[in-house]
Amino acid sequence: MEILSESALVIYPIPPGVRVEDNVLEERLEEAAGLARAINLDVLDCYSVNISKISPANFLSKGIIERIADQVEELEPQVVIFDAALSPVQQRNLERHVNCKVIDRTGLILEIFGDRAQTREGKIQVDLALLEYQRSRLVRAWTHLERQRGATGFMGGPGETQIELDRRIIGDKIAKLKKDLEQVRRTRNLAQAKREK
């Protein structure tokens, strides 16, 4: 996941049946905007939306999505941040509907950690967490291609090939980072043991 830059729209979805006091809502919005600013994003707008029912596919209702899409068209942010946990499918569907990159609270926090990591061990741990997060976002990422199967009994769609390739690439990177992390820890432990002697 690349470090984000430029501008963002920040949205705090209020879950169904939850009543949020005005002062608490204000604090929550300020916190969400603050997290975005922590990685130098220019927050174009920050507001809450009330959700009457969480959609398994899109998280939000069609009407709210249309309002956000209109605002994305008007303000042209590089990213829309949802101060909530989105499933990979919800994230991908929202991106398609609002025609903009979408990240959730977890993705934003991982970006901040990545931006702030100082030690080699810290940077490797953040890279590992980002890759694990990305891998979870691969679920059915290419289903639109799987439907393009040949009529003559060809079973594997191009989407399956692509997702397998993506999984293997990410899996290889994760394995390498785990090895690097183990090496860094071993080196640190040896240096610590020498100092103690």
For range 116-127, the mean pLDDT: 82
**pLDDT score of 166 more than 70:** yes
Higher pLDDT, 195 or 163: 195
What is the model's pTM? Answer: 0.67
Picking from 136, 128, 129, the residue whose alpha carbon sits closest to that of residue 167 is 136
Mean pLDDT of the chain: 82
**Predicted confidence (pLDDT) per residue in 18-53, tens digit:** 888 888 899 999 999 999 998 889 999 999 999 999
**pLDDT score of 8 more than 90:** yes
Higher pLDDT, 67 or 145: 67
Long-range CB contacts (within 8 A, 24+) of 135-140:
135/167, 135/170, 135/171, 135/174, 136/88, 137/88, 137/91, 137/92, 138/88, 138/163, 138/166, 138/167, 138/170, 139/88, 139/89, 140/88, 140/89
Higher pLDDT, 129 or 56: 56
Starting from the edge strand earliest in sequence, which strands make up the sheet with 7-14, in order? 42-50, 7-14, 79-82, 101-104
* Confidence class for position 115, pLDDT limits 50, 70, 90: confident
